[in-house]
Amino acid sequence: MGFGSSFGRYRIAHSKFSLVFSQRSRQDKEKFNAQQVEITFLGTSSGVPTRSRNVSSVAFRLPQQAEVWLFDCGEGTQHQLLRSDLKPSQIRRIFITHLHGDHIFGLMGLIASCGLAGTGQTIDLYGPGGLKDYIDACSRYSYMDIARRITVHRISTGIVYEDDQFCVSCAKLTHRVPAYGYRIVEKDRPGRFQLEQAQALGIPPGPIYGQLKQGKTVTLDDGRTIRGTELCGKPEVGRKWSYCTDTVFCDAAVELAQSVDVLIHEATFAHQDAQMAFDRLHSTSTMAAQVAQLAQVQTLLMTHFSPRYAPGNAIQLEDLLAEAQAIFPNTKLAHDFFTYALERHR
């Protein structure tokens, strides 16, 4: 048997193995991801893109709602989405921090593509004053009819969105233009439903179990009043995360990040370039770490890095990471397509 035929059989066998392996991996991943929020960085550069980093955008995948929420949408975000495991058709909300181009220039292209793809669902946009004017002007001069596809919400300090699972609030940061940071809080869940105890009480199965699982009080046909809270274990505390960019160190960022599981904070400059940070109202790596320390967060994810720290330069991003970890050890350096899993508090 020649080498060519042996190699051909190897390629066929390898392809079959890869197919089975990828199918199993995908199934395992979907099962594993069913209960976790996935944070995916689509752009981690500040100002301009580089060969390895696009400009700002972070996606939060919420499996329980089959939705993706974007925070900022810099130029090229839709290309980054196509290279990721995220589905653009699941984008339901986009939260904008401020109106600098590296945070909004990707909006119109993404909205147009979602419309051409016929996703059918409305996208809610949240951002500071001026966002609606920007969207309207772009739509008018590019002849895009997107009025039925998007709803723009002007934000101010306080709650900007709330449903039965999440509450999103914002606060004004300190930057050259109006900029807002966001805090996302998942509402607490009732504890595990004690099925055996419910059966022992003679509670008939059916929709009533669903009400009891939610901690509600129900009245049975025999007149007994049953409190769902007494049939559930200890409530499961919801997850919390915050997103703070662009800003120099400020008290508002500390308040937004108070006791969160994950803080995403800009770290545009190295500590030795602090004067530039103060002049341009951006943060250094050490400022981000100080916010994390003061707010008592669990994990700090740094992003929005100046292109000046590219490989080959005197200061590199690993130096920024070392600076931050000296103050707050549980700090990670985000890169494009870096995904962080936010597990439930079981």
Q: How many CB atoms lie within 10 A of CB 242?
A: 28
The three-state secondary structure class of 196 is helix
Helix 131-141 crosses helix 107-116 at what angle (to 10 degrees)? 60
Residues 6+ positions from 341 with CB-CB distance below 8 Å = 33, 36, 37, 38, 39
Contact 69, 82 (CB under 8 A): no
Size (the chain), residues: 346
CA distance 95 to 184: 11
| Chain centroid offset of residue 211 CA | 30
Cβ-based burial of 249 (10 A; exposed 0-12, middle 13-18, buried ≥19):
buried
**Ranges of H-type helices in 233-316:** 251-256, 274-280, 285-295
Q: What are phi and psi for residue 186, nearest 5 degrees?
A: -85, 135
Q: Which residues pair with 172 in a beta bridge?
A: 180
| Chain centroid offset of residue 52 CA | 21
Residue 124 a catalytic site member? no
Contact 62, 37 (CB under 8 A): yes
**Ranges of H-type helices in the chain:** 3-33, 77-83, 101-104, 107-116, 131-141, 195-200, 207-213, 251-256, 274-280, 285-295, 317-325
The catalytically annotated residue of 28, 72, 85, 102 is: 102
Active site residues: 102
